[in-house]
Structure 1
């Protein structure tokens, strides 16, 4: 399959916003929060506050996404909603530059705002996938987005790690001064590489001509109608339940990995380097999973990824040193992009194309509800038990239950009823 201008422009948004996921969510924010904004606080308390912040952002998105998705479908404003939330994320990320030492409450407030922009924007970005790719192109197009996300996010993360390790090369006094500039670089990177999507990706005209308030009322009616229809769509329901369960573990690994490593006493530089390694392993691995989806179907690829994640979870509970952390980073890099890209393309096969934003809002909401439970559970178990090793094992049941539900998704039956 050859990628045309629209597919490449759409996929470049993954390159743009993945810098937030890598440098901010997975990398520097947990590190800086624990060592600078929360300096002197007990480790379990800072982990709990970070988990609560991630859960709060996810809850805000979960509450508003279905209504906004229904309105976006009726008004053909997926790109406009995406632009608004992306701008929120960019501005809040850049504003972290101004947070002084000890102002953990302000840092968390800005982080929540930036995370809302990132998470909500992705709902409308995902909803554009059926607009730029036909059914037979979904797996590879989705995989291209995640692959570029790993590469783009990894490149900026590598630059930011270099700033952290060699601040004098950039005219900075020390690593503490470098981190706020890393947040600024993410904001600028996100803005610059979003431009091709705004300029080159077409969105079909709205099938309705309505005022803003009429669109909101009609969107609410449409949302109620869709919720009533879902029980008659077992493939959609089983997939959403499966996704909710297994992506909980995936999201927890993403947002809590550095915090977990620090709680075990691993070296800061090793944790950051391992995250960087994950990014560059993830680039070819995501493309490979796209081909796997083409040949064997997206369900088979997701099953492989879940099995590897379960093995990684057990291994993480036995983690002893930095070398083992590097090994787990490679294993995660091999499957993280694959499970995300194939989940997106499998779901796109199940939904009505003219209601993509609304249906992807359910997909996004369940992913965010999963992100509410996972980080909060890991943080709370760590705080109450004093054992981060015990807390990480709590997600095994979610992976297993997700795999069982995924096995009940009948893709062929869903295609006949679309």
Structure 2
């Protein structure tokens, strides 16, 4: 156990470090909300359509792409790159112990890329794709390191609560900037200008509020590998560590099964939230004000939802609560299929339902996984966790894009995502969490001890 996890829960130094960790969530969540979920998911296809026309085709490496599918295909391509990139980042972080430096290097690259999106004009689909790709890759790599700090900040009985508060803080931060973007929508008539300024604001917010965690987390204990190489060989050693991690992963079959379950159900969560605005605009014919206000509602309501599910996990355990949330997700996807066009109240009710399970299902999955991994390998294993939640999220957008392109129906495309929740639930129910924690050499949380 590290110095941070052995501190008493009420220790001021421990609280300060956790506040710094929460603050990064407040700063960075704007990428998920303003950039990924709201503006870029619609602005990039619109830019592509302006460049080649509604029925035209973009040509990338000789491959014809429909303008409406550019955003989802960009995510899919970036996600494939992350499968290779994130494990190297995780291995490098564990090998060198430079987690804080890596976190903020990637984060500022992402923030600068978002700020530069203000220069993406109505036909600049190449520039928009490149900047979005850089921001996407940087955000996800930073998240590998950010998540790997959780075991150092909280013991087994505190981990669900700390993870849930971190996720709740992120939703509060993301919602706060989105509220400002919402106000701006009443003041700016040109939707393209609104999109560019909002995307830029995400980069400025991200960079500005990162100053707080950058200062506080300087006091995080260093946890470099005892066999760390000289600086010149650290990167190549990262590849070796990655190979060792993948070979040793078979020694933790329950952890591997959980990763597979998370890979499947998070793909459904990420694709649903990313493309919700696109579905509302193109299928339900909802206006900009309705879409922004609904997503804003999700952000603030998810703050309470994450804390609620965190509290429920203290009584029922994280696995049961996550499993219940996946049942709710399946019901919500079914309801989304039947929503009627031009009915904002129905969309708002769906948004409230999503907010109840969105943050908690992710926060508790993170804390469960943190208990299933061996000490000293946090960043490496969380890189595999992020592959499950990001690198392989190529599948959801790809399925959505293919169904949309072949059927022309957004309803069919959104309903196809239910398969991810059903299969993910089945796999999660097969995971023996107690054996996974014990195999990794970690202490069981009180909820599992009491259920013996």
Using structure 2 for the length normalisation, give the TM-score.
0.87
Aligned residues: 413
* Structure 1 residue corresponding to 2:16, chosen from 5, 9, 15: 5
- Which 4+ residue blocks in structure 1 deviate beyond 4 angstroms? none
Aligned to 1:72: 93
Q: Within 5 A, what are the aligned runs for 1:161-176?
A: 161-167=182-188, 174-176=190-192
Deviations 1:32-81 (A, max 9, x none): 23445533425993331110011122222221111221121011012122
Please say if residues 333 and 418 of structure 2, whose CA atoms lie closer than 8 Å, have aligned partners that are also in contact: yes
Q: Within 5 A, what are the aligned runs for 1:31-110?
A: 31-36=42-47, 38-39=49-50, 40-42=53-55, 45-110=66-131
- Give unpaired runs (5+ residues) of structure 2: 1-8, 57-64, 442-452
Aligned to 2:449: none
- Does 2:148 match 1:135? no
* Structure 1 residue corresponding to 2:209, chosen from 178, 185, 193: 193
State the 1:111 CA deviation: 0.9
- Does 2:222 match 1:204? yes
CA distance in 2, matches of 1:397, 1:178: 35
Q: Within 5 A, what are the aligned runs for 1:383-398?
A: 383-398=405-420
Higher helix share: 1
State the 1:174 CA deviation: 4.1
- Does 2:165 match 1:144? yes
- Does 2:246 match 1:230? no
State the 1:200 CA deviation: 1.5
Please say if residues 249 and 395 of structure 1, whose CA atoms lie closer than 8 Å, have aligned partners that are also in contact: yes
* Structure 2 residue corresponding to 1:273, chosen from 281, 287, 293: 293
Deviations 1:1-57 (A, max 9, x none): 657111111011111111111111101112323445533425993331110011122
CA distance in 2, matches of 1:187, 1:41: 30
- Does 2:309 match 1:289? yes
- Does 2:427 match 1:405? yes
Please say if residues 19 and 190 of structure 1, whose CA atoms lie closer than 8 Å, have aligned partners that are also in contact: yes
SS at match of 2:54: coil
CA distance in 1, matches of 2:68, 2:375: 41
SS at match of 1:135: coil
State the 1:220 CA deviation: 2.3
State the 1:347 CA deviation: 0.2
Using structure 1 for the length normalisation, give the TM-score.
0.94
- Does 2:324 match 1:304? yes
Deviations 1:157-181 (A, max 9, x none): 00011111223xxxxx744333322
Please say if residues 164 and 179 of structure 1, whose CA atoms lie closer than 8 Å, have aligned partners that are also in contact: no
Aligned to 1:215: 234
